[in-house]
Amino acid sequence: MPRTARDVVFVDGVRTPFGKAGPKGLYAQTRADDMVVRAIRELMRRNPSLPPERVDEVAVAATTQTGDQGLTIGRSAAVLAGLPKSVPGFAVDRMCAGAMTAVTTTGAGIAFGSYDVAIAGGVEHMGRHPMGEGVDPNPRFLADKLVDPSALVMGSTAENLHDRFPGITKERADAYAVRSQRKVAEAYAAGRIQPDLVPTAVRSADLGWGLATDDEPPRPGTTMESLAALKTPFRVHGNVTAGNAAGLNDGATACLLAAEDVARELGLAPRMRLVDFAFAGVEPEVMGVGPVPATEKLLARNALTMDDIGLIEINEAFAVQVLAFLEHFKIADDDARVNPWGGAIALGHPLASSGVRLMNQLSRLFEERTDVRFGLTTMCVGMGMGGTVLWENANWEGAK
């Protein structure tokens, strides 16, 4: 029988506070699967009108799917979170866009009618599982000159992007990074970040048990002078530093998606509506430009221009990558639509989990900005890809 596509809504999203990766980080002694379980349980606690048995799928992304990020983590996390054994789950890997892909894949399933309700998210414990751990790249990548050697080092791809966009200087990238830190500090002071954070139990060898309640990476005192003094580890006299790039981080995210009619039936209030999504490939050695063709494809398919987009949540893997996107679309570096509450340069980027953080933040912004109809979440992806999701504000005043 022919099926009619259903409207898909983002109901709610949560995340653990993000931590710094490494032996002194918040989550040094915390398992990755326990982090995502904490997020799933909180999502269910916040939405008591949703019967657990109504969850049709759990999709969890991880870039390094081994150890406590392995064992088909979507299914294992669902069981550990106490969902009925009848609820299936699967794992996703699209590197940085893992959680984004978990959302678009389950969202497409809801639109098609295969699911009514799904949980999607991601986790990355970069302290336990550094990016590239256990990877064995096929030698033909280099022997057959399929990719430039720099494609396998993310910081080098960012330096390549500076080469491609010579107008994006180190000073310009540092200025963007300072703004990101300032905006996060202001958002924290206004209580805007905290509602999506799930207090998470942590353990330290020195201090014993504690509770993570805030993001660890932000550096609110960052200045242009402090950034100017940092080393450029990926190239002598280069442009990319630890200050104008996201750090190595640990953290987990989860969100609740549903068919709009099912959400209403269950008493779940939608925050935003999934309109469309697109992924695109680019040369791996300049992977940071990936959001550009993905966004172009998406806007063209929906007969929209960037003027129709009122809010943009773009992942700040590197300042140069964000600035290249803005330059392409002729958007000012300090445009108020872009990451109004700051981004990953300050908050952190636990790879596969970040896509849902962008969505959480956009959905909260939509609640404040009922005058805005459309928003984007977009990010670059390792090995030369970009992904963009188009959302409609469920509380847009123009629909009333």
Q: Is 255 a catalytic residue?
A: no
Q: Residue type for 136, please?
A: D
Q: What is the mean pLDDT of residues 191-213?
A: 91
Of 125, 129, 162, 349, which residue is the catalytic one?
Answer: 349
Q: Residue type for 335, please?
A: D
pLDDT at 3: 65
Cα separation, 132 vs 360, in Å, equals: 27
pLDDT at 2: 56
Of 96, 125, 162, 255, which residue is the catalytic one?
Answer: 96
Whether 82 shows a pLDDT value over 90: the answer reads: yes
pLDDT at 399: 76
pLDDT (tens digit per residue) in 119-148: 999 999 999 999 888 889 999 999 999 999
pLDDT (tens digit per residue) in 277-318: 999 999 999 999 999 999 999 999 999 999 999 999 999 999
Provide the pLDDT confidence category of residue 207 given band limits of 50, 70 and 90.
confident
User: Secondary structure of the chain in the HEC alphabet?
Assistant: CCCCCCCEEEEEEEECCCEECCCCCCCCCCCHHHHHHHHHHHHHHHCCCCCHHHCCEEEEECCCCCHHHCCCHHHHHHHHCCCCCCCCEEEECECECHHHHHHHHHHHHHHHCCCCEEEEEEEEECCCCCCCCCCCCCCHHHHCCCCCHHHHCHHHHHHHHHHHCCCCCHHHHHHHHHHHHHHHHHHHHCCCCHHHECCEEEEECCCEEEEECCCCCCCCCCCHHHHHCCCCCCCCCCCCCCCCECCCEEEEEEEEEEEHHHHHHHCCCCCEEEEEEEEEECCHHHHHHCHHHHHHHHHHHCCCCHHHEEEEEECCCEHHHHHHHHHHCCCCCCCCCECCCCCHHHHCCCHHHHHHHHHHHHHHHHHHCCCCCEEEEEEEECCCEEEEEEEEECCCHHHC
Cα separation, 29 vs 206, in Å, equals: 11
